[in-house]
Structure 1
Amino acid sequence: MADERTFVIVGASLTGAKAAETLRADGFTGKIILIGEETERPYERPPLSKDHLHGKEGAREKAFVHEPGWYAEHDVDLRLATRVTHLDPAARTVTLDGVDELHYDRLLLATGSRVRMLDVPGATLNGVRYLRTVDESDALLEHLRTATDVVIVGAGWIGLETAAAARHHGANVTVVELADLPLQAVLGDEVARVYRELHEAHGVTFRFGSKVASFKGSGTLSSVVLDDGTEIPADVAVVGIGIQPNTELAVDGGLAVDNGILVDAGLRTSAADVYAAGDVVNLDHPLLGRRVRVEHWANALNGGKAAGKALLGEEVTYDRVPYFFSDQYDLGMEYSGYAARDGYDRVVFRGDPSIAGGKAPEFIAFWTKDGRVLAGMNANVWDVTEPIQALVRAGHKGTAVDLAKLADPDVPLDKLLD
């Protein structure tokens, strides 16, 4: 008997595409409607600040989740350049572009996030850029290829990856950051210092404890003015001060929202038959024992797969260890786990994290609390994600390890829990 249900997915993103893929792979034969505001088919975001921004050949096409014909071949109704403007959970409808009403039997909100805008004089000048979409990455790549002076506003992951790309293209780079170190809120002082030294070794200038007062130029950016009056020449300024979840549709539908759409471990929202996944959700995380909103690629990927199963009525417990990665110059890293800045008491290093002769180090850092591993980051050390995540899972469940052995490279990571 044919399945006559309609599953609507709002957000033609990695999360949305993976949910649709999972539905078909698991045998759903009903209607799937995948709706996105952009004109491009679903794509992954990491290449936008990594390979594509470096100008690596083929990187743009590799970012797309599926080949152009996949959606038609799998009977997925992909509607691009379309905005969902209203949600009525009681009637089980969404409204498209303020006009067309669409019924759903089950709904997935994968609306993602948008960049935080910097509201200062001159913010609309040509040359002040943001990086979130593939179109923005295309435009920024072309600008970096000819830029002499680049200012990066914000020393987070996007800011630092963009700084590395700008140096790759030969520009002078200044990073303006309000904190005392790059990535300080995410990594803490101990590991943040590694990234400061790494970028300084590649010629990047940091202006810590500073913020932008204005952008100057006559139609086109010529300089960035800091709050202490310092004026920095700039052909391009890239603002990377974080993202915020797109919760407007959820709010419109009366769903519970607090720094994201509130979902349980089964990705269920407060409305019947409405699910949410990706970086728009504030998840009641079973492993971490707290609510978290994870803004990274792996969450979009795995959350989409889990959401597809949840839409089918499978019992889902989404308890993935948070994971992300970054490539900057010759330093590649993977981070697994969760350690709030005030939630750990010691960082244990396995290997020397010092920059030596301008060369990136090889090490693993562990954020620990009372001997429990809460998070681990492997830098230029590979094929260790699985044992690190095992240590993180054990740590968040209350199991401590011997920290001396944790620091000893001669002790295999997978033996620490024996």
Structure 2
Amino acid sequence: MIAVIVLILLLLLVFFIWLDLHLGRKNVQRHDIKTPSSCSGKAALLTTGTQFFDTLFEEIEKATHHVHVQFYIYHEDSIGQEMSSLLKKKAKEGVNVRLLVDYMGSFFLKKKAIKELKKAGVQFAYSFTPGFPYFFYKLNRRNHRKITIIDGSRGFMGGFNVGDEYLGRDPRLGYWRDYHLLLSGPVIHTFQQQFIMDWEAASGEKFNGSEYFPELEKGPVKITTLFSAKAIYSFWLQHINQAQTSITIGSPYFIPDRPLQNALLQAIKRGVEVTLLVPMKSDHLLVKEASYFYFKDLLNAGCKIEEYYEGFFHAKVFLVDDKICDIGTTNFDQRSFFTNSEVNCIFEDRHLIEEAKKAIKEDLDRSETLTMTVWERMSYWKKTKILFAKVFSPFL
């Protein structure tokens, strides 16, 4: 009798969690109506941790009015302490400094460190703190954006977070490869608008003013920014279906849904050369195994899958026909498509695309081709893990 009661309670709990996740997702989708915004600006590609942090710190050091910083992960390690010291320094100089981090992504950021930031004048807030309603959905959701805006005129967006591993200091992962954009010009206004919305939702503070949106000179690059998961997903699906010659996808995690997987298979069938660039190493439990489930059909169809072995590949890039490129925070997985908050930049500028192609080639040169023979020779244990990972793939 007790066993029956326990079983019923467990089933009720599972149903409640499923309902919570389902209704939470539906609620977010109803409000996910942000339209793409196209603006001009200047852009440069940053691909190493040293390059990124040196440039980021240099630009923050020059700030005179405000610094708005948003990261998914903010570690309290060597580079994190250096970042915090700089933010505290600028706040003491009278610069308005706001730091927004994801609650789960930066879960281990100590209260003492936050207290010291606030004491120095840095305004701090967490995105997506779990609460009711939709507790389990909010617990599962992440604000995965990485945005920095300085004086409303220049900024950064891409894959890097704040942590020593992004400088290649984690011996387990080794050399870190990522793609981040240094941006300036009117395109910065779109990032500022999104940051303000995220900040207000997280902190409850309402602020506005023209000083956060200075008049900016147009740049040579037209950039379309996407903050809506639905828009990002639709963009990728549309351009996979429309591709004529080539598709290159770089992502640390590859867990597509059925429409995207089928679109890639159809593209290969009509003669499009599809290349996936993924890491050989894994930084999360079961993520690599989940990817291998989808690799089998793609390999059989003729897809080129390259595994980066130099260290860890964390960049998110989508290049179609060498004519249109997308760099951002969105991984090619179901979590990014349907749960997280993301941001992507799309451009067709020839010079910037050549920069991206050069970076991709460098990473392909440091990769090993995955073949069907290698896949078939995997142990039964690993193949079992692949099937197990598939079940949990939406949450990985």
TM-score grouping bracket, smaller chain normalisation: under 0.3
Higher Cα radius of gyration:
1
TM, length-normalised to structure 2: 0.28
Higher helix proportion (structure 1 or 2):
2
Higher strand proportion (structure 1 or 2):
1
**Higher relative contact order (Cα pairs below 8 Å, separated by 6+ residues):** 2
